[in-house]
Structure 1
Amino acid sequence: MRPFFPDGILTFNETLLPFTAALAEELDLPFHSRETTSLAVDKFRQRERLRAAGVDAVRSAVITGPGDVPAALERVGAPAIVKPASGGGSRDVHLVHSVAEAVELVGRLPASPAEPFVVEEYLVGRDLAPFGDYLSVETAVSYGHASHIAITGKGPLVPPFRETAQFWPALLDPDEQTEVLRLTTDIVAALGVRTGMVHTEFKRTATGPRLIEFNGRMGGFMQDMSAHTGGPDLIATAARIALGERVSLPLLDTDRVAFQAWNLAPIAPSRLERVDGAAEVRGQSDVVSYHTYVRPGTDLGGGVMVHRLDLLSGVSAHHERMFTAMDEALSALSFTFAFAHGRSTVTGRQLVDMPENRMAPLTRGGASTPRPPQPR
């Protein structure tokens, strides 16, 4: 690449962060340093660095197999979260309540020295229904200066930890907003972030916001919400930072609410056979767009990773109207799946509660698993 004298480099892909950092270093281009990138993609090292800096005190331990579980649970306590040290989209993220449960779970997960998992303190969120109990902060960093662009509100999680919706702006009181932004600034500094777009998630607990995780790239689908609320062009902002420009942006100030919601593939393996109601949804009030991501006839492997079937985008006058608009749209959609035991047709509103989209009960004191298809 050197003969082409590139002016900048960036990525929006979590898995490409280390490769992009290596190229940036070789080409002397602005990007996260290799150390910062390593801290961003390794959830255990990230916690350790933030603990040493006095920014985050969430207990965590690394495990490479079932034999590591007892010591990890003794350090972290139960209940606890088990998840890959690197990864996204809620891949293999589970809640465990005991050593026996964790040992069985880790025995079925691909934990190894090459792909370690982490056990983390379970953060209990406040009951904020119909809102979710967590949020994220979207930040642009230029020459070490952090500009917080927006605080993203979230919908309730579907077990075990699958996201269902998000919106701009989050609804929170001024004191909580101030604390969330202060913590984000401290996290950015502690991890050595000097340049680029970052995404930081917090659980809204009874004792204040607590860090869930930090990501060294822009949050998913944020460009769309920024455009619908009069915010900056985030793709252009990321490119300007990559080109070495100094960027400073104000926190979003808007008189409307942009939202996104999506339907999740079932936990049990299936085949998507039909999607009905798309035309009706696209004509509904407050809906800006509706895109399907999975064609009918596609086999779905199941599992607990966030696998979006579609994406609904809209704009409402306020948060209450937003929930009404999402409910109207999700109720108008219907999905037909073929499972091993037969076919099921449900609306988008019913999909999260269908038996094939729930975690199975604990078995012999062990981990929750996807409910398997039943033979005919």
Structure 2
Amino acid sequence: MTTMEERPLLLVIATGMQVYREYLFRSISTRFRIHLFHVAEPTWERQYLSGWTVVPSTLDGPAMARAVRALDGVGGVLCWDEGRIHAASYVAEALGLRNGDPAVVWRLRDKAQTRAALDAAGVPQPRSVPVRTLEQALAAAERVGYPAVLKPRGLGASLGVVKVRDAADLRDRFAFTRDTKAPDPVVYAGDEPVLVEQCVTGEEISVDSVVQDGKVIPLFVARKVVGYPPYAEEIGHYVDAADPLLTDPDLLQTLQDTHAALGFQDGWTHSEFMLTGTGPQVIEVNGRLGGDMIPYLGMLATGVDPGLAAAAAACGLPPEVTAGRAEVTGIRFFYVAEDDTVIGSAAFEESSLPARIEQTTVVVTPGAVVSPPPKGTVWGRVAFAIAGGGSIEECRAALDAAGDALRLTPLQAAGPAVSPAPDDTPVTPR
């Protein structure tokens, strides 16, 4: 039996929200020692850690690279926070570890650089033009054609993404995309914060993959559900362990070509594609584990542990990627109906939940002020439910029932407590 001292030492940069990321710490701590770099003393994380360092900022890669010199025996660096993966790459570079090339990680963070690299390699993707002003956006839209998609250059979770029908629509919505901010500042060379992109249609999916020495191994395909058009709020996902896309030659080749074009050699990626009538087209690539509990859905569906696989890849160890079961899982996020709703109470009525529901989680507390998209986006979610079953249809029915079982009492609101679920279909323009 491996003793605690013999386990590889993994440095984790930041944590993320407990409800969305604790499962990773729980798994990783069973086989790795975890040292955490964070801006505050750990709380819920402490039970999973062998040590921690409080640093002034987890966005300052060079400073963390200097701080890591005080640690001995670090075998890998792992970060799953989109705003911090670039900073984490400086730490890995300082230690001579995998995924330690800040230029490569920045190429993924900066979607304009992603587009340029894929275009040079001939990888299929929507046409895309980075712009700074409304006038530039109008000219770019004439080039890519209407309808077009406005997208922030470096945000995640579909923040700020909106489809525009024509020039008048673009004029109305350009400021929404330009002014959408993440909690962490992002600065780009050239100061062109918005991408104007061709609107390609089909079914949108994501693929979580482990990558070692340039070889891409797809583990989970998630069928994305997007609501609140013309915005692109991700309201749910479905993962099928037996998804035929996991062996689809066109998708697998595009996935491999994408990583080669971007120069990504080691680590974990969350890649998004639109399955069009002419084949898969790359929407974006993130150099981290997927959000929205997608890797957790994958673990429930396949038995492959994403935390352990990602930790192994970071340390240059062979990840365990053989599926041990074959099920279908799904998640749905719930929102209030009105902007600036003050939450009184929120809970699921347990007696009304079907057996297929694996988990329900309320993510708001009494007194919280939340809004639906587009104002609320990810932070407007009040709860989520996870279901398992033999098919997407079974999961969808269970999640419908979970929505009916959610009891939300607002302290102030102008309308119904919970908005009805948008059309639950994985086909969306983007």
Give the TM-score range, shorter chain. 0.7 to 0.9
Q: Mark the runs of 5 or more structure 2 residues left unpaired by the alignment.
A: 1-67, 181-186, 424-430
Distance 1:345 1:309, change over 3 A: closer
Q: Work out which of the residue numbers 137, 140, 153 in structure 1 matches 2:210.
A: 140
What's the counterpart of residue 119 of structure 1? 196
Partner SS state of residue 50, structure 1: helix
Q: Work out which of the residue numbers 148, 156, 159 in structure 2 matches 1:88.
A: 156
Which whole-Å CA distance do the structure 1 matches of 2:280 and 2:412 have between them? Answer: 40
What's the counterpart of residue 263 of structure 1? 334
Which whole-Å CA distance do the structure 1 matches of 2:198 and 2:404 have between them? Answer: 36
Give the superposition deviation at 1:74.
Answer: 2.3
Amino acid at match of 1:328: A
What's the counterpart of residue 371 of structure 1? none
Q: Is the 8 A contact 1:164 1:264 kept in 2?
A: no
Alignment deviations for residues 319-347 of structure 1 (CA, whole Å, 9 cap, x no partner) = 3322221122112224344666x34234x
Alignment deviations for residues 38-69 of structure 1 (CA, whole Å, 9 cap, x no partner) = 11111111111101101124211111121312
Give the superposition deviation at 1:11.
Answer: 0.2
What's the counterpart of residue 53 of structure 2? none
What's the counterpart of residue 27 of structure 2? none
Residue 18 in structure 1 maps to residue 92 in structure 2: no
Partner SS state of residue 164, structure 1: strand
Which whole-Å CA distance do the structure 1 matches of 2:160 and 2:98 have between them? Answer: 33
Give the superposition deviation at 1:206.
Answer: 2.2
Alignment deviations for residues 209-266 of structure 1 (CA, whole Å, 9 cap, x no partner) = 222211111112134223322422111111111112134735x574321221111355
What's the counterpart of residue 392 of structure 2? 319
What's the counterpart of residue 232 of structure 1? 304
Residue 181 in structure 1 maps to residue 252 in structure 2: yes
| RMSD of aligned alpha carbons | 2.6
Q: Is the 8 A contact 1:58 1:121 kept in 2?
A: yes
Residue 3 in structure 1 maps to residue 70 in structure 2: yes
Q: Is the 8 A contact 1:292 1:311 kept in 2?
A: yes
Q: Is the 8 A contact 2:302 2:326 kept in 1?
A: no
Distance 1:246 1:258, change over 3 A: same
Q: How does 1:280-319 map to 2 (within 5 A)?
A: 280=351, 283-300=353-370, 303-304=373-374, 305-307=377-379, 308-319=381-392
Give the superposition deviation at 1:33.
Answer: 1.7
Structure-2-length-normalised TM-score: 0.72
Q: How does 1:145-160 map to 2 (within 5 A)?
A: 145-159=215-229, 160=231
What's the counterpart of residue 288 of structure 2? 217
Q: Is the 8 A contact 1:21 1:32 kept in 2?
A: yes
Structure-1-length-normalised TM-score: 0.82
Identity %: 26
What's the counterpart of residue 278 of structure 2? 207
Give the superposition deviation at 1:118.
Answer: 0.6
Q: Is the 8 A contact 2:86 2:105 kept in 1?
A: yes
What's the counterpart of residue 232 of structure 2? 161
Q: Is the 8 A contact 1:336 1:344 kept in 2?
A: no
Amino acid at match of 1:27: L
Give the superposition deviation at 1:173.
Answer: 5.2
Q: Mark the runs of 5 or more structure 1 residues left unpaired by the alignment.
A: 126-132, 354-376
Which whole-Å CA distance do the structure 2 matches of 1:83 and 1:74 have between them? Answer: 16
Give the superposition deviation at 1:80.
Answer: 0.6
Give the superposition deviation at 1:311.
Answer: 2.0
Distance 1:274 1:174, change over 3 A: closer
Which whole-Å CA distance do the structure 2 matches of 1:76 and 1:236 have between them? Answer: 42
Give the superposition deviation at 1:9.
Answer: 0.7
Distance 1:202 1:32, change over 3 A: farther
Q: Is the 8 A contact 1:276 1:335 kept in 2?
A: yes
Give the superposition deviation at 1:158.
Answer: 3.2
Amino acid at match of 1:119: V
Amino acid at match of 2:219: I
Partner SS state of residue 344, structure 1: coil
